[in-house]
Amino acid sequence: MALYFIGDLQGCHEPLQRLLRIIDFSPSRDTIYLLGDLVNRGPDSLALLQTLADMGDSARCLLGNHDLHLLMVGYGLRPQHRGDTLDAILQSPQNAAWLDWVRHQHMALQVEGWLLVHAGVLPQWTAKRTLELAGEVEQALRSPHFMDFLTGMYGNTPALWHEDLRGKDRLRVIVNALTRLRFCSPQGEMEFQTKGAASTAPQGFMPWFHVPGRLTAGTPIAFGHWSTVGLDALDTGPHLRDNTLALDTGCVWGGCLTAARLGQTTGAYELIAVGCEAMKSNKKSPASQ
């Protein structure tokens, strides 16, 4: 039995198929964990969802910001953006079932000692607390009253977590940390305007994984979302930095699709990547995500 973490797919179905062939993936034997942004920007989001759904429990999926965007568009709460490639899902006769399937995926998971998130973790959260807070969002998404949650999900405030936050503000902070976070202050205040490399942090902020004393420092974390960080990590070698593993390696932008096969000890892994040259016609840059 092999376990794999796979970075952002964003509708890139054909590269996933190649990657699964290379790793000799068997749904009866192995499990893949997808780190969010399953859909959008790439050409085959509907086929990708169908493949993952057909795998059942052998494909465990996190939700990223693009997946939440699909829910907002699908339920009529937001218009599509220029560059969205969601029409095949939205126009499918099974549209309602696909939106329901997406709502029932995960916001965070813990696997063999690893914490899995799409974007990041605030410095004042432990791994245990991260999973508890992710569970609050999952409960809201799966509730019969999920539309109440979605209508208040978007926004940049509050930018700072407090345990006494309640209602939509509380859930919004959790969603923003888990699906949008790149930079924050040492106190955990989130900054959402800067989307470049880790070295482009605005004054007073830093990449979330560089915050001194963050409470998840002792837990290996695999995340996606930040392709400039993932591509840099791929170039500089397969070892953990700040006890984190960045696995969005820019497939949808013509980079690669990367899987990490877990080793026998916590924190050990092997990287396997396939090229995504066919995606190079996508004119937007990773920093525009």
pLDDT category at 207 given cuts 50, 70, 90 is very high
The whole-number pLDDT of residue 281 equals: 60
CATH code of the domain occupying 3-288:
3.60.21.10
pLDDT tens sequence across 42-68: 999 999 999 999 999 999 999 999 999
The whole-number pLDDT of residue 192 equals: 97
- Distance separating the N- and C-terminal Cα atoms of the chain: 34
Q: Quick check: 239 pLDDT over 90?
A: no
Give the residue-averaged pLDDT of 236-265.
89
The whole-number pLDDT of residue 99 equals: 98
The whole-number pLDDT of residue 279 equals: 74
pLDDT tens sequence across 135-189: 999 999 999 999 999 999 999 999 999 999 999 999 999 999 999 999 999 999 9
Q: Locate the domains of the chain by residue range.
A: 3-288
**Cβ–Cβ under 8 Å, residues 86 and 42:** no
Give the residue-averaged pLDDT of 273-280.
83
The three-point CA angle 112-116-119 to 5° equals 165
CA distance 69 to 92: 17
Residue-averaged pLDDT of the chain? 94
pLDDT tens sequence across 7-38: 999 999 999 999 999 999 999 999 999 999 99
The three-point CA angle 67-190-103 to 5° equals 20
